[in-house]
Amino acid sequence: QAKDSGRGHHQFSTPGVADDAMASLQLQRELHTAIAENQFVLHYQPVVHVADGALAGFEALVRWQHPTRGLLAPSEFIAFAETHGFISHVGRWVMREACRQLKAWHDAGLPRVPVAVNLSAFEFRQRDVASEIAAVLAETGLPPQLLEVELTETVLMQQSEQVLQTLQSIKALGVGIAIDDFGTGYSSLSYLKRYPLDKLKIDRSFVMDTPGDSDDVAIVTAIVELGRSLKLRTVAEGVEQPQQLALLGQLRCDLAQGYGIARPMDAAQTQAWLEQQR
Ligand code: C2E
Ligand code: MG
Ligand code: MG
Ligand code: MG
C-alpha cells in the first residue's frame, strides 16, 4: 500500500494544497495591482467623550475596494498582506491618506480632532516607523498632536530595547500611542510602566456583554481604574447599547467608540457627519 502511494494517485490525494497555492498567488497578484492602482479606501469611525458625547477623534480603518469582490474588510487581507510582504505598502498608504484627509478637513474649517491609525506588530518590527511618521507629518502638514497610533499588545510583548526606542521616538514627535484590544494579549502588565503610552482601548469582547454580565463589568471596571491610576485615558471599543454607555459614564471611562455611537463611514459620509457637528 505504501508502495502504491509513491506514484499514481498519490499526487492527487491533497488537492487542496494546489488550490490554496493558486488562490494565494492570485491574491498576491491582486494585492500587487491594488497597491499600484490605489484600490484601498479609508473609513473613519468617530470616538466620543463618554461624559458629554462630544467628538474626540476618529479611527481610520482600511478597506479594499476589490474590482470584482466588492469592499473587503481588513480581516480578509491584512494578515495575508503581512505574511506576503505587502503590509508596508498598505500601511504607508493608510498613514499618508489618514493624515492628508484630516489636514484637508481641518483646512476646510471642520473640527480639529485627531485621527488614530492602526499599526500591526509586523509593520512595527519591519519598518523605521518613527521616521516614516515624521516624513508623512512633514509632507501633509498635519500637526503631530492630531495623530495617534494604535498598537496591539503583541508589539509590546517583546521586551526589546528597540521597541522602547521606537515608542520613544514616536512619542518625541508628539504623536499619541494607544494600546488596541487591551486585555486580549498574552502579556504581563509590566510594559504599562516601561513604555510611554497615552491610551488603553478596552477590547470589544469585554464591553459587549455589559452591563448584564457581572464578570465583564468587573473587568471593564478594573481596566478603567488601572488607566486612571496610570494616567492613561481609557476608550471602550464596540459600544452598541445605551446601557453600556451609561455604565461607562458611571465608571468614568473617558472615551467610547462603537456602532451604537457611529459606524465607520467613508470619507464623504464622515465629512457630512463632521459638518453636522459644527
Ligand atoms: P480594531 O483596530 O480593533 O478596530 C475596531 C474594529 O471593530 C473595526 O473593524 C470596527 O469596524 C469594528 N467595530 C467598531 N465598533 C463596533 C461595534 O460596535 N460592534 C462591532 N461588532 N464591531 C465594531 P474593522 O474595520 O473590520 O477592522 C478590524 C481590524 O483590522 C482592526 O481592529 C485592526 O486591528 C485591523 N485594521 C483596520 N485597519 C487597519 C490598518 O489600516 N492597518 C492595520 N495594520 N490594521 C488595520
Ligand atoms: Mg484599532
Ligand atoms: Mg481594537
Ligand atoms: Mg479589535
- At 82-99, the pLDDT tens digits run 999 999 999 999 999 999
Q: CB–CB of 244/266 below 8 Å? A: no
| pLDDT score at 219 | 97
Our answer on whether the CB atom of 46 is closer than 6 Å to any ligand 1 atom is no
Ligand nearest to C-alpha 47: 1
| pLDDT score at 15 | 62
Mean pLDDT of all residues belonging to the chain:
92
Give the lowest-confidence range in 5-9, 126-130, 136-140, 157-161. Answer: 5-9
What percent of the chain has a predicted confidence (pLDDT) above 90? 80
| pLDDT score at 201 | 97
DSSP of 69-123, one letter per residue? Answer: TEEE-GGGTHHHHHHTT-HHHHHHHHHHHHHHHHHHHHHTT-----EEEE--HHH
Cell of 162: 528597540
What Rg value do the Cα atoms of the chain yield, rounded? 21
Q: CB–CB of 165/172 below 8 Å? A: no
| pLDDT score at 187 | 67
Confidence of residue 19 (pLDDT cuts 50, 70, 90): confident
pLDDT at 56 over 60: yes
Q: CB–CB of 117/100 below 8 Å? A: no
Distance between CA 245 and CA 268 in Å, rounded? 27
Confidence of residue 125 (pLDDT cuts 50, 70, 90): confident
| pLDDT score at 14 | 62
pLDDT at 8 over 50: no
Pocket probe mutation, ligand 1, options 61, 115, 132, max atoms within 8 Å of Cβ: 61
List of E strands, 196-237: 199-202, 233-236
Nearest CA to ligand 1 atom 35: 74
Element (H, E) at 192: helix 191-194
Return the closest-CA partner of residue 169 out of 211, 215, 227, 129: 129
CA of 61 from ligand 2 middle (Å) equals 8
Our answer on whether the CB atom of 120 is closer than 6 Å to any ligand 1 atom is yes
Between 105 and 124, where is the model more confident? 105
179 strand-pairing partners:
151, 200
Our answer on whether the CB atom of 19 is closer than 6 Å to any ligand 1 atom is no
Residues with CB under 5 A from ligand 2 (ion): 118, 150, 180
| SS3 category, 222 | helix
pLDDT at 75 over 80: yes
Residue 212: phi and psi, rounded to 5, are: -65, -40
pLDDT at 190 over 70: yes
Which atom of ligand 1 is nearest the CA belonging to 237? 15
pLDDT at 151 over 50: yes
Is the ipTM beyond the 0.85 threshold?
A: yes
